[in-house]
């Protein structure tokens, strides 16, 4: 029935992430918490409001996610000296360790999909990703204006 390229790409992304997500169970953390932790590990310490924006979630939702993460020792919260209203959130060593292991497991599952591809197919995938990454970045930033 000749599905459109956009349709196929959409469905490929869904199935790829469903496949990767299986690895998350082993971390013992929920998707929401893993995602917050990954922002902290890759982008560095952030305030509660910044994290809520990054995760596209309301601020009280972020407060509660952080309470859980802190209780499990994955992040630390501290009021800043400059402005005692804001709370700086930092990933702990344990948090970084757990996140990194989980991310590795996810990437390993994606690798398993790439592994059977021959050199030519792999080059095509890399070329396609380059084009899509830059187009997506442009479209997203235009949408914000």
Partner DNA sequence: GGCATTTACTTAGCTTGGCTAAATAATTGG
Partner DNA sequence: CCAATTATTTAGCCAAGCTAAGTAAATGCC
In the complex with DNA, the residue whose CB is nearer, 61 or 134, is 61
Segments in the chain forming alpha helices (H): 5-21, 31-43, 48-55, 59-71, 93-114, 119-144
- Stretch 77-116: interaction string toward its own copies, x if CB under 8 A: -----------------------------xxx-xxxxx-x
Rounded CA separation 16/7 (Å): 14
Report whether 67 contacts 48 (CB < 8 A).
Answer: no
Rounded CA separation 95/40 (Å): 9
> Should residue 57 be labelled a site residue for DNA when binding is judged by CB under 7 A?
yes
Instruction: Pick from 59, 121, 132, 136 the residue near DNA by CB under 7 A.
Output: 59
Report whether 84 contacts 47 (CB < 8 A).
Answer: no
> Should residue 58 be labelled a site residue for DNA when binding is judged by CB under 7 A?
yes
- Selected range binding DNA among 15-23, 82-90, 105-113, 134-142, rule: CB under 7 A: 82-90
# binding residues, DNA (CB under 7 A): 29
In the complex with DNA, the residue whose CB is nearer, 20 or 75, is 75
Instruction: Kindly tell me the burial class for residue 145, based on how many C-beta atoms sit within 10 Å of its own C-beta (0-12, 13-18, 19 or more).
Output: exposed
Contact residues for DNA, defined by CB under 7 A: 30-33, 47-50, 55-68, 77, 82-87
């Amino acid at each position: 029935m000749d599905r459109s390229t956009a349709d196929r790409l959409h469905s490929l992304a869904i199935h790829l992430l469903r496949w990767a997500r299986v690895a998350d169970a082993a971390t013992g953390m929920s998707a929401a918490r893993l995602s917050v932790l990954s922002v902290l590990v890759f982008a560095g310490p952030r305030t509660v409001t910044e994290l809520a924006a990054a995760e596209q979630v309301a601020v009280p939702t972020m407060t509660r996610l952080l309470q859980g993460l802190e209780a499990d020792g994955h992040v630390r919260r501290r009021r800043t000296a400059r402005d005692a209203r804001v709370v700086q959130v930092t990933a702990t060593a344990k948090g970084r360790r757990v996140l990194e292991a989980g991310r590795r497991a996810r990437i390993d599952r994606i690798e398993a999909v790439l592994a059977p591809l021959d050199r030519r197919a792999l080059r095509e995938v890399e070329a396609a990703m380059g084009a899509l990454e830059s187009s997506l970045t442009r479209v997203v930033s235009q949408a914000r204006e």
